[in-house]
């Protein structure tokens, strides 16, 4: 290393030490309220000129990744650890659809069949935890079970169900009203009316639950610490014991969850 190189190295070292000293001073001034960026993970990421288009009412979990040419409709939710990678083709997701934790959605630019395949997911679709959807189409109000794999060219029609752990081979069409299961997936039976109704209800439940998670994830450090104190204060209060004593306590609004994610609470209120 020449004289100039040593000078530049020394200057860099001095600047770094100065930065560390300033950081220590800032941390000391902040006291116990220190905000650290522990990860450079980006939830929404462009690929060249391809940018995700996400409705303002969509919940994208902090640890999820939505990348490239992806569009997501109103009320949908992308849960923790899920990855949607629209780099070599497009991904389109409708309204009210949920992709649960660790789901993977990708597309096909080329394959053995020579097909260029996007991934299209309709409205009010439920995709279970750790499912893999690759270059396929899932129509409105369909259901993909946990750990299921849908390969290139698969079409799941409206009100159809792919069972948990199923492997659906290339270019398979699953007709409306049917359950397919197994590896490779085959027709198992017809869906009942109750099961078809459950598919729609499942999507609604996740839309409501996503609102709660979105609110929780948006809270500041101070709000979280304040709620911890409140929860500790009210943890020992028993409603039945209070009612026997004739004591009425007001629960802080910060500790009240919405009725739409507490079905038991809503039923109890109706009975009263």
What 3-state DSSP class applies to 59? strand
Burial of 43: CB neighbours in 10 Å, binned 0-12, 13-18, 19+: middle
d(CA 27, CA 249): 40
Q: Give the best-scoring range by mean pLDDT among 17-31, 239-253, 257-271.
A: 17-31
d(CA 60, CA 81): 10
**What is the maximum span of the chain, computed from C-alpha positions, in angstroms?**
86
Q: What is the pLDDT of residues 16-51, one digit of tens each?
A: 889 888 888 887 787 766 666 556 778 999 988 899
**Sequence-ordered list of residues with C-beta below 8 angstroms from that of 116, at least 6 positions apart, any chain:** 89, 108, 109, 110
What local confidence, expressed as pLDDT, does residue 39 receive?
62
d(CA 78, CA 64): 7
What local confidence, expressed as pLDDT, does residue 231 receive?
75
d(CA 167, CA 149): 5
What local confidence, expressed as pLDDT, does residue 229 receive?
82
Other residues' Cβ atoms within 10 Å of the Cβ of residue 209:
17
DSSP 126-137: EE-TT-EEES-E
Q: What is the pLDDT of residues 107-119, one digit of tens each?
A: 987 666 667 899 9
**Sequence-ordered list of residues with C-beta below 8 angstroms from that of 11, at least 6 positions apart, any chain:** none
Contact 176, 162 (CB under 8 A): no
d(CA 80, CA 63): 5
d(CA 143, CA 178): 11
- Name the residue with higher pLDDT: 5 or 132: 132
Contact 64, 80 (CB under 8 A): yes
| Every domain of the chain and the residues it spans | 44-195
d(CA 102, CA 99): 8
What local confidence, expressed as pLDDT, does residue 234 receive?
67
> Would you say residue 10 has pLDDT above 50?
yes
What local confidence, expressed as pLDDT, does residue 23 receive?
82
**Sequence-ordered list of residues with C-beta below 8 angstroms from that of 53, at least 6 positions apart, any chain:** 70, 71, 72
Closest-CA residue to 68 (of 82, 49, 81): 49
Contact 140, 156 (CB under 8 A): no
Q: What is the mean pLDDT of residues 69-73?
A: 97
Superfamily of domain 44-195: Hexapeptide repeat proteins (2.160.10.10)
pTM of the predicted structure, to 2 decimals: 0.73
Q: How confident is the model at residue 248 (pLDDT cuts 50, 70, 90)?
A: low
């Amino acid at each position: 290393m020449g004289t100039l190189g040593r000078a530049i190295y020394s200057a860099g070292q001095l600047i770094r030490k100065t930065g560390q000293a300033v950081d220590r001073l800032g941390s000391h001034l902040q006291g116990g309220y220190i905000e650290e960026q522990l990860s450079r993970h980006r939830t929404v990421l462009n690929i060249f000129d391809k940018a995700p288009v996400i409705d303002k009412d969509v919940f994208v979990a902090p640890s999820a990744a939505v990348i490239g040419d992806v569009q997501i409709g109103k009320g949908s939710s992308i849960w923790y650890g899920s990855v949607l990678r629209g780099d070599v083709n497009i991904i389109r997701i409708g309204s009210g659809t949920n992709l649960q934790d660790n789901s993977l959605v990708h597309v096909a630019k080329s394959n053995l069949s020579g097909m260029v395949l996007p991934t299209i997911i309709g409205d009010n679709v439920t995709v279970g935890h750790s499912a893999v959807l690759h270059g396929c189409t899932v129509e409105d109000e369909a259901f993909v079970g946990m750990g299921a794999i849908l390969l290139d060219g698969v079409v799941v029609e409206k009100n159809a169900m792919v069972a948990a752990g199923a492997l659906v081979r290339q270019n398979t069409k699953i007709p409306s009203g049917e359950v397919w299961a197994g590896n490779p997936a085959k027709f198992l039976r017809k869906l009942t009316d109750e099961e078809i109704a459950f598919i729609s209800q499942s999507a609604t439940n996740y839309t409501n639950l996503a609102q709660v998670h979105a609110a929780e994830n948006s809270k500041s450090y101070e709000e979280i610490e304040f709620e911890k104190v409140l929860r500790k204060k009210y943890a020992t209060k028993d409603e039945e014991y209070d009612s026997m004593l004739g004591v009425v306590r007001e629960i802080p609004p910060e500790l009240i969850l919405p009725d739409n994610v507490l079905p038991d609470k809503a039923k109890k209120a109706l009975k009263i």
